[in-house]
Structure 1
Amino acid sequence: MARPYEKIPEPADPASPVSRGVPKGNVCVVGISIESGSAEAMRGTLVDALRRHGLVQGEAVDGALRAVPRHLFVPGVPLARAYGHEAVVTYRDESGAALSSLSEPGLVAAMLEQLDVRPGHRVLEVGTGTGYNAALLSRLTGPQGHVTSVDILPGAVAVARRGLARAGYAHVETVVADGRLGHPDGAPYDRIIVTGGAWDLPAAWAEQLAPGGVLVVPLRLRGVTRSVAFTRRDGVWTGHGALSCGFVPLRGDDEVAEHQVVLGDPPVLRIRADEDRALDEAVLQRALDRSETLVWTGVRPPGGENHLDFGLAALPECCRVMPDLDAVRSGAFTAALYPWGSMGAATGDTFAYLARRGIGDTAEIGVSARGPASADLVARLADLVRAWDRTRHHVLRIDAHPRGAAPSDATWTVPKRRTTVAVHLDPPDPTPLPSRSALVPPARAPR
Structure 2
Amino acid sequence: MVAPPQPHAMVLPFPAQGHVIPLMELSHRLVEHGFKIDFVNTEFNNERILKSLEDKGTIPEGIHMLSIPDGLDPADDHTDIGKLVGGLSAAMFSPLEEMIRIKKIKWMIADVSMSWALELTNTVGVRIALFSTYSASVFALRMKLPKLIEDGVIDESGNVKRHEMIQLMPPIDSTEIPWVSLGSTQERRRVNIRNVLKTNRLMALPEAIICNTFREVESEALAVLPNALPVGPLVAPMSRPTGHFWPEDQTCLTWLDTQAPSSVIYVAFGSSTVFDTTRFQELANGLALSGWPFVWVVRPNFTKEIEEEWFKQFKHSVDGKGLVVSWAPQQRVLSHPSVACFMTHCGWNSTMEGLLHGVPFLCCPYFADQFCNQSYVCNVWKTGLKLCANEQGVVTKEEIRNKVAQLLGDEDTKARAVMWKNKAYASIKEGESSHENLLKLVNLLREV
Normalization by structure 1: what TM-score? Answer: 0.35
Larger relative contact order (CA 8 Å, sep ≥ 6): 2
Q: State TM-score, norm by structure 2.
A: 0.35
Structure with the largest fraction of strand = 1
